[in-house]
Amino acid sequence: MLPRTQELRNWTSEKKCRKVVDNLTKKHFTAVYCATAKEAADYIMKEAASAQSIGFGGSLSVADLQITARLAEQGKDILNHGAPDLTPEQRVAFMKRQQTCDLFLSGTNAVTLDGCLVNIDGHGNRVAAMIYGPTKVIVVAGRNKIVEGDIADAIRRIKDKAAPPNAMRLERETPCAATGFCNDCDAPHRICHVTTIIDSKPGATDLHVLVVNEDMGL
């Protein structure tokens, strides 16, 4: 049994998650509320049944679901450019193949309460695949990604909470990777080159958003 404080926090978070789902649905996304990460993983495994090639956009939220090995065991063609021991050429080849895969899996850096997906990329390969190309796209959004403000607040959330630890994780030579704070730098190895706002479902993309009532990713 959960402590009362945690129970109440989960109740509040569920209301926010369901509000995001409602607003995403109004914008023609296939939006699904998931009470747990396990529910999100089960949803993806079901949707992946008919897919042969599956691209991974480098999301910690998706990695935390621990479905890569399960999909590989089913004989799926796993396109994970973050896999260890890949050569730079292999990594680029995977990024390009992700643009036309059967199923592309990604997180999102932020989702506004009114249903906009906001992301910042270094190369743009992840957001490109989210918008157009793959047969189906599934985006996983933990409750910690929900922003109650506007697009500017979403961008600030990304730069304050996501970019510094991601830059450190990727071993980038940027001020934020050293200090933990965004400096709005112009470092050549910065991971903040491409900013996208998906305001409603892209016309030619079957885009699903799983809003999870757990903290997921950064």
Tens-digit pLDDT profile for residues 136-161: 999 999 999 999 999 999 999 999 99
Asked if pLDDT for residue 2 goes beyond 80, the answer is no
Asked if pLDDT for residue 204 goes beyond 80, the answer is yes
pLDDT in tens, 121-142: 999 999 999 999 999 999 999 9
In a domain, 79, yes or no: yes
In a domain, 26, yes or no: yes
Buried b (16+ CB within 10 A) or exposed e, 91-124: eeebbeebeebbbbbbbbbbbbbbbbbbbbbbeb
Domain count, the chain: 1
In a domain, 169, yes or no: no
In a domain, 185, yes or no: no
74: domain CATH number?
3.40.50.10420
In a domain, 44, yes or no: yes
Asked if pLDDT for residue 8 goes beyond 80, the answer is yes
pLDDT at residue number 150:
97
In a domain, 174, yes or no: no
- Residue 11 φ/ψ, nearest 5 degrees: -60, -45
Buried b (16+ CB within 10 A) or exposed e, 21-51: bebbeebebbbbbbeebebbbebbeebbeeb
Q: What percent of the chain has pLDDT over 90?
A: 96
**Better-scored residue on pLDDT, 37 or 9:** 37
Mean pLDDT of 180-193: 93
Q: By residue range, what is the domain housing residue 96?
A: 15-117+124-146+197-212
